[in-house]
Amino acid sequence: MVEFILASGNAHKAEEFAELFSGRIAVKPAPRGLNPDETGTTFIENALIKAKAYYDEFGVPSLADDSGLSVEALPDILGVLSARFLPEKPNYQDKCAELLHLLAGQENRRANFTCVLCCYLSPEEVYFFEGRVHGVIGTEYRGDKGFGYDPVFVPTRAENDGKTLAELPEWKNKNSHRAKAAQAALAFFIPR
């Protein structure tokens, strides 16, 4: 079995990836969190920065993800900077409120969540996997089952019922940007 340490200080994320990989790829929390400077301008660059830092520090294969929300009408404020949007307001409910304010009256509300996984086995063996979920930014904050921007993101689904990711935990577990990137990694490392 392929085994990685997660390039994150967030133990919850390790549990999430363990679930996404269905026990077929092992993901363990790192012995301690590091804070490498995410100076990349793309999700790929930032995922690589994190994965390499953890590999260099602990000497074992590492898994890093970089993800964020991109909004077509606001191309310069989110994306790879999603977590750093409004740093003076660390509460995501405040960040979501500001996003809704910035989009007030805007017809184009198209958006997507992107996740890039970097699987860093060694300096000679580095793999990237990407997943996306498309949708729109809703007009209000709804739901309590998600985190980050989930309560304002309405994914494109056949049901077209206007529910946000924060109202769709089961759907999100199977169809989120992280789930899609994890599925791509599984297909590569453990082909059927």
Work out how many domains the chain is built from and give that number.
Answer: 1
94 is catalytic: no
80-109 pLDDT, tens digit per residue, is 999 888 989 888 999 999 999 999 999 999
Burial 35-58 (b: 16+ CB within 10 A, else e): ebebeeeebbbbbbbbbbbbbebe
Tell whether the model's pLDDT for residue 48 goes beyond 90: yes
Report strand pairing: 62-71 vs 110-122. antiparallel
63-76 pLDDT, tens digit per residue, is 999 999 999 999 98
Mean pLDDT of the chain, nearest integer: 93
pLDDT at 160: 83
CA 81 to chain centre: 12
What does the block give as tokens for 89? Answer: 């307001």
Q: Which helix (H) or strand (E) holds 12?
A: helix 11-20
- Which residues, 6+ apart, have CB-to-CB distance to 62 below 8 Å? 4, 5, 6, 7, 30, 50, 51, 52, 54, 55, 120
Confidence of residue 169 (pLDDT cuts 50, 70, 90): very high
DSSP 31: S
State the residue for tokens 């996984």.
Answer: 117
- Name the strands in the sheet holding 153-155, side by side, starting at the edge strand that comes first in the sequence: 25-29, 2-6, 62-71, 110-122, 125-137, 153-155
Tell whether the model's pLDDT for residue 1 goes beyond 90: no
Residue 13: phi and psi, rounded to 5, are -65, -40
pLDDT at 23: 82
Please give the residue range of the domain that contains residue 65. Answer: 2-189
d(CA 36, CA 52): 9
CA 145 to chain centre: 16
What does the block give as tokens for 61? Answer: 């294969």
pLDDT at 98: 96
Please tell me which residue in 37, 56, 65, 66 is annotated as part of the active site: 66
CATH of residue 173: 3.90.950.10
Q: 124 vs 18, which has greater pLDDT?
A: 124
pTM across the whole model: 0.92
132-167 pLDDT, tens digit per residue, is 999 999 999 999 988 899 999 999 998 989 999 999
